[in-house]
Structure 1
Amino acid sequence: MSVLLTGATGFVGRRLAPVLVDRGLDVRAMTRHPDDYDGPGQAVHGDVGDPDTLTDALDGVEVAVYLVHSLDDDDFERKDAEAALAFGKAAAHAGVRQIVYLGGLGADDDDLSPHLRSRREVEGKLAEGGVPVTVLRAAIVVGAGGISWEITRQLVKNLPAMVVPRWVRTKTQPIAIDDVVRYLDGVVGNDDAIGKVLEIGGPEELTYLVMMQQAAEVMMGRRLPIVTVPLLSPSLSSRWISLVTDVDTTTAKNLIDSMATEVVVTDHTIRELVPFEPTSYMDAVRQALTESGETPKG
């Protein structure tokens, strides 16, 4: 089976590529710079922002994995929608039978943030060409190099104490990057998953406050003093994060806007399709630290 993997050099894609290759699949790693690609699979040129490059990349492909977003761009909603629409149409023209997309959790009737609203829109745009889309919706993904995890890690590491807004008491359901990859691998080419929206998460529903406290325990072996305040807007929060971490202000704001929305798993169908026991949050933190060359202390 031939699989086109977009975002092959990204946080998720670079971990998924070797898993798909080990399965014996014919993996095409789509990148704007194929000469620089040194991962598994065959590097092919393609850019979702340039539809003319997609025809050759998708030729003969049965399954396409779509791992693309533009959170670091102020105009990400428009760009992501246009890219998804073009990709879906190109996939249909090439005869692709399944698109797999990693989206975001959150109830459809919520007042979604621009980030989560864009993820929903991308789901629909990918499907407009007629190819069935398998959507995996996730919340915070914990792993070395992931933006959400890097914000948590660097805040905990760089600050002796924190003053945080009320949204830290919002519930989310973090998931280890290895578990995300396992679910993605499990639905690629899986007839029972084609055309379905599936929710994925770790075993615990946690607030962002508890996540930071548990991360501090694992990283430093102690709790972190945290005080919540009623007034700290997403704009101010993002500027504060960009000062304390190496995450740029635009990306931070787009993520923080989503943190007032509860994002937890309400449908457990994925556990029947791809059965395994998900990793706990603290174990996911330990794995992320180890991969980064840091030694967990708790």
Structure 2
Amino acid sequence: MRTTITALAITFGGLLPAHADITISHAQGETVLPSAPENVLVYDLATLDTLDALGVPVAGAPLSGLPAHLTSYASDIGTLFEPDYEAVNAAAPDLVIVGGRSAPKLADLSRIAPTIDLSLDRTDYLASARDNITELGQLFGKQAEAEAELAKLDQDVASLKEVSGDAGRVLIILTTGGRMSAHGPGSRFGVVYDTYGFVPAATGMDTGNHGQAISNEFIRETNPDWLFVVDRDAAIGREGTAAAQLLDNALVHETSAWQKGQIVYLNPADWYLIGGGLRALQNSVSQLLTAVTTAG
């Protein structure tokens, strides 16, 4: 899916004219705006992360579930899963943006205000995220800023791909509530393999959103050279067994990843909550590049 924006005229370096019909093609169809939006509500954390990075004002976002750097946008408009429709109506937004967890609410929100769905396409995750960032930059008059940030991201992705294939076999896992799941190519975190070029330590796993349930025995038998770990409990602020504590056991100690000190605890908010936001993508690629290039 590619999000596209068309208007009567696009001039002045991509800045949309103040009074022109704007047609936005998105994951669930097309939405027409009578002019460039100024009062925007966001129910998609990747979009919120991108708009924050580009310096675009946002009128409101869900009250709970926001990572620390985005809490200033919290307002009483419901949650990602259950918008407060009365609050949305009272806010009189020019545009509402949903995506991922909130995407099923597009039809209901569209009855109140123009709404678009910027959900990412897992089959080409990075390209989909880049498209959204580019189009958000264009829509809000931040095209130059978006292009500059994407150029840096592209450079770092290229640097990562130069070293990822020779880094060794990788297993990416998510921990939550004392349990673990693994994610292979084509999965929720498959960008690690599909785009960044790491070699999977295991294949043929369930590509569903929750991954494939695994045990410490599975990790030992798979014997990855690297373990990339997403701690869901840390991401959502829930008490529980920390990922580092869960993995500190005799079976995991036998793996190459443990013995080489190659267990990377990925930023949980960037990977589990935000996903394809501009800042989250840059942080994620930078963390992986640093880990691999400083190993040993």
1 or 2 for the larger relative contact order (CA 8 Å, sep ≥6)? 1
The question of a shared fold, defined as TM-score above 0.5 by the shorter chain, is answered with no
Q: TM-score, normalised by structure 1?
A: 0.29
Q: TM-score, normalised by structure 2?
A: 0.30
Higher CA-based Rg: 2
